[in-house]
Amino acid sequence: QGGNNAGHTVVVDGKEYDFHLFPSGIINPKAISFIGNGVVIHLPGLFEEAEKNEKKGLKDWEKRLIISDRAHLVFDFHQAVDGLQEVQRQAQEGKNIGTTKKGIGPTYSSKAARTGLRICDLLSDFDEFSSRFKNLAQQYKSMFPTLEIDIEGQLKKLKGYAEKIRPMVRDGVYFMYEALHGSPKKILVEGANAALLDIDFGTYPFVTSSNCTVGGVCTGLGVPPQHVGDVYGVVKAYTTRVGIGAFPTEQINEIGDLLQSRGHEWGVTTGRKRRCGWLDLVILKYAHMINGFTALALTKLDILDVLDEIKIGVAYKLGGKRIPYFP
């Protein structure tokens, strides 16, 4: 699920890579990387990411990458609309959501409205794809009169991308079925964003537009629930958040600044400073209620090394009473 709104920094042998659409396993020459149907893909972004990481030494990625034919496409106008919607929210409500302006929300909106276009549409009849693309563009133009879309220019580029990705595209459901039932393999599923950004379970409306909890494995790949084995929760030794939204343990002081600078807490996609605070165990327990972690990967403990005292959020009060749930 998700798209190039999420960023994962991966350091291998002293080299730092930034991944957004690529699965982190793309660096491993022995691994096959697969982008599932739940992901929304901005093709210019995918190739830009490839180019940046090639310069850092990533080789032959196109031989190891497979893309689901059912994944939805993010168009440039989705990204433009994302920015316009944020401006609108700011003007109307005095606050925005703090999206990455990568077109993720508008693309999932198109998907839910059944006007979206998928990889399989791009690779079949291009004339039909073009007319559906024009209809979708027209819909957005009528909603946002200031929106400018170079329809012919974008279609020409998309036709080029179609040929570049054609060899990588497969029927994702069949691909996963064979992976699960063929010769024994280790399968690691990587999600984008965190539990508190889940469209259903996060701090709505300051969330992303997809299910980034464990259910995304089933819906985003077509994997039956009984095949989900261990579930690893990745959590920092302190809490961070990019963009606005509730954050009870946030430290808007020298502690917050220290965590931010020592932890290099910048959004990989946006370059925004991450908001930092003490570890919130209420949130962590809540994430566990939903995901059922079999293990936790605790990161960045060393960032706390310089502190004499470390605080941890242990409970929430509502109306003066302790509550056992995340409100």
Residues with catalytic function: 111
DSSP label at residue 202: S
Return the structure tokens found at 147. 């929106």
In order of 70, 174, 217, 218, 262, the CA distances from 226 in angstroms are: 22, 17, 11, 10, 41
At residue 72, the 3 state secondary structure works out as strand
How far is it, in rounded angstroms, from Cα 163 to Cα 168?
Answer: 10
How far is it, in rounded angstroms, from Cα 324 to Cα 308?
Answer: 30
Asked if residue 283 lies in contact with residue 197, where contact means CB atoms within 8 angstroms, the answer is: no
Residue 92: CB partners within 8 Å, gap ≥ 6? none
Dihedral angle computed from the Cα positions of residues 174, 179, 183 and 188, in that order, rounded to the nearest 10 degrees: 180
Identify the sign of the CA torsion 252, 257, 260, 263.
negative
Asked if residue 147 lies in contact with residue 80, where contact means CB atoms within 8 angstroms, the answer is: yes
- Longest C-alpha distance within the chain, in Å? 66
Q: Which pairs with CB-CB distance under 8 Å and at least 24 residues apart come from 132-135?
A: 133/75, 133/158
Identify the sign of the CA torsion 93, 99, 100, 102.
negative
Residue 281, CA atoms < 13 Å, CB-side half-sphere: 6
How far is it, in rounded angstroms, from Cα 2 to Cα 16?
Answer: 22
